[in-house]
Amino acid sequence: MLLSGEKTTLPASEAKALFLTADPHSTFETPEPRVLIADSEADPLSVGARIAFARRVGFLLRSPSDATGLLSGHRVRFRSFDLRPRESEPDPGEYLEGIRAAIDLADPEYELTLVRGQGDYLAVTSPSRMLQGWSRRRPRSRPFFHPSAIFPKLSRALVNMSRCKQGDVFLEPFAGTGSIAIEASLVGADVVAVDLADEMIRGASSNMRRFAQDWLGVVRADSAKLPVRGIRAVATDIPYGRASSTRGRPPELMLRLLLPELAAAMDGGSFLVLMHPKDVGVEPSPEFAIEEEHHLQVHKLLTRTITVLKRR
């Protein structure tokens, strides 16, 4: 995997979560920044079709000749990425020689990808399968807009880190405009979205009708009294400064009320992904173990924390 260049631990965590979702025995090594190698039975091209914070995901090759069986008869291009300055460009012919494929720079089925950093990494990838249409789902492109809306790439990463699979029941307990719920639906989860505010319920329903697949329901309910059980994955952004959705409860109280409800609603072994202000701490409990934490600086005065917990 060639990860995106954000200076955060989030891209690597998202990538690992996707491989572990398909193959819990996956192992990883990080030979240098932005390069992640998985030893896994998971299909990397399927991972690439879901991932948000990666430039390329594919099959690592030992030599160009290893690509012959994968690429012959397909539309192919060569592309290189330099992780540090280089004096010369690689010669595509050196890598494509002997591969019986049609060169197509505009719309290839596959790409022979060379990443040059401290070492060289050659892989077969499929960039066309990684096109997610992020711009079509950006907050201002949706029928209902609210300034609190999360951008689709971050929403998708939160969903992926919850390790939800196609057909899993996924819960978003603070639906807002439906940003996270839409991305969960698009990867095949059966989504239940909950919010307390009528405006958000109507808005999230409108947005999901535009962008999402089928879902189980958009429900007006208090997250402190969740009306669902049998949940396999949860991802949410704890609201703050939105009195209509919180009844004036501060984020700390929202968490204290939410976590016991989620403990009752979630199946054992399932994952909960919480995004919250950094100064709002999340503690482990008899019901939840903290797996990891990541920090995103929004601006000088606000840093968001993403905490991943596992239901014991």
Identify the CA nearest to 44 among candidates 61, 68, 62.
61
pLDDT value of position 241:
64
Q: Where are the domains of the chain?
A: 2-130, 134-311
Q: Is the dihedral of CA 127, 130, 132, 135 positive or negative?
A: negative
Q: What pTM did the predictor assign? A: 0.96
CA–CA gap between residue 35 and residue 30 (Å, rounded): 6
- CA–CA separation, 191 and 159 (whole Å): 11
Yes or no: say if 113 and 81 are a contact pair by the CB < 8 Å rule. Answer: yes
Task: Please state, as a whole number, how many other Cβ atoms lie within 10 Å of the Cβ of residue 153.
Answer: 19
**Within the chain, which residues score under 70 in pLDDT?**
241-246
Cα–Cα distance list, 207 to 151, 157, 240 (Å): 13, 19, 22
Contact 13, 292 (CB under 8 A): yes
Q: Give me the pLDDT at residue 179, please.
A: 97
**Mind giving me the DSSP string for 24-58?**
TT-EEEEEETTEEEEE-SS-HHHHHHH-SSEEE-E
The predicted pLDDT at position 297 comes to 84
CATH superfamily of this structure's domain 134-311? Vaccinia Virus protein VP39 (3.40.50.150)
Nearest to 237 by CA among 251, 218, 248: 251
Express each pLDDT in 176-232 by its tens digit: 999 999 999 999 999 999 999 999 999 999 999 999 889 999 999 999 999 999 999
Architecture of the domain made up of 2-130: 2-Layer Sandwich (3.30)
pLDDT tens digits along 226-256: 999 999 999 999 987 654 566 778 889 999 9
Sign of the CA dihedral 223, 224, 225, 228? positive
Strands of the 231-237 sheet, one edge to the other: 217-220, 190-195, 169-172, 231-237, 266-277, 302-311, 288-299
